[in-house]
Structure 1
Amino acid sequence: MVLYMKIVLVAVPGAGKSTTLGLVKQRMPDVFIVNYGDVMLDIAKRMYGITHRDEMRRRIPVDEYRKVQELAAEEISKMQGDVIIDTHASIRVQGGFYPGLPDRIIAKLRPDAIILLEFNPRDIIERRSKDESLRVREAEGEAEIEMHQLANRYYAFAAANAGECSVYVLDYRNKPQSKPFEHAEASADFIINLLNANRKLH
């Protein structure tokens, strides 16, 4: 019997998760890539007529928003095969941070691993400048990005503790790229090796 893996991938916005996951998908087409926010939006569309992700927090009461979070976790938990979940360990809100993976969500997702990507804040600022969808975000300096990465690390370990799973920190702060997308390729290699090692075990 094959025992598949469920991996949660987290990083600050604009860090390069989508690029990394695209590389994983190219080399392992049978792996399912799931964006947690997209699943929540599909549920919110059905239940509340929401049309955009930014509307969810504004238009849905807090208790109902949490219910949508839980329904998304239940839906993802039922997926068969190797699954990688693209989400956030923490979400910046009004100068503070909100948990992206609270205990009740981790309990439903039951991941096998949480992979945290960390980068030099200057690299993230450069990547964001090239991403049209991120330009509307409030500008963050290096200190704010580093604080968010620190919050991510705390929240990722707390989530792993609640979910009794492993945490892998891929820290590229002091590893400048010698070519474009080198960090994404290294991250994709790590994820693919983790999945392949699990398949060999089972």
Structure 2
Amino acid sequence: MTKPHYIKFLFMKRPLVLSALLISFLAACTPERVRYTNELKQEMADSKIKRITNADMVETVDNLGGKVTTVLEKELTTQLQKSTNPAERAKLCQLQNLPRAKAIAERYALDIRLLGKADIQNKGLSTKEREILDAYLYSAKQKSTAISNIQKITDTSFVYNAPVPVNSVICEACFGKQETPFAVWHLGFNKREVVRRMGNTKKKKQS
């Protein structure tokens, strides 16, 4: 084959080669592969967030916990005031039929619960948290103001607790008439999700 014909042959073959490469690339980018690629990117992004102190974690959990409990309390109070049906109220107190609560739990991977006096003896909770609940009850009996509390339960989890105001409809509606109105929010945070939120916050500040 002469040189001019050889060059012409290469130009004729180029579209075929490019098409083959494109088909191979598209075939490789299956939804499953894309999903794993995105997960890998997230893993790499998480690993880049370094030098996070325990104080940083507590500050983030405290900030997010305060915002979340405010939203939860408002939504639950509003829905309880709309209904006098005991069955409906019971579901609301179990945090069912609360769209915003559900969305928040999914978005932040949160374990959200509403605890009462009986939970002081709940062995399903950590010893630390039960002690906090007991302290909250004592404060309520003394009519003193209690603030939120954060405990590091394990190396990968934190719990944020905040007492519900004693004059809130939530206390009586969800736990009946009590000598001392009492209810406490429980937010279980996963450390990895907290770190991710911290990373997103840093990116926003830098942009």
Whether the TM-score (by the shorter chain) exceeds 0.5 is: no
> Which structure has the highest helix share of the two?
2
- TM bracket (short chain): under 0.3
> Which structure has the highest strand share of the two?
1
Q: Which has the higher contact order (CA 8 A, sep 6+)?
A: 1
Greater C-alpha radius of gyration: 2
User: TM-score scaled to structure 1, two decimals?
Assistant: 0.27
User: TM-score scaled to structure 2, two decimals?
Assistant: 0.26
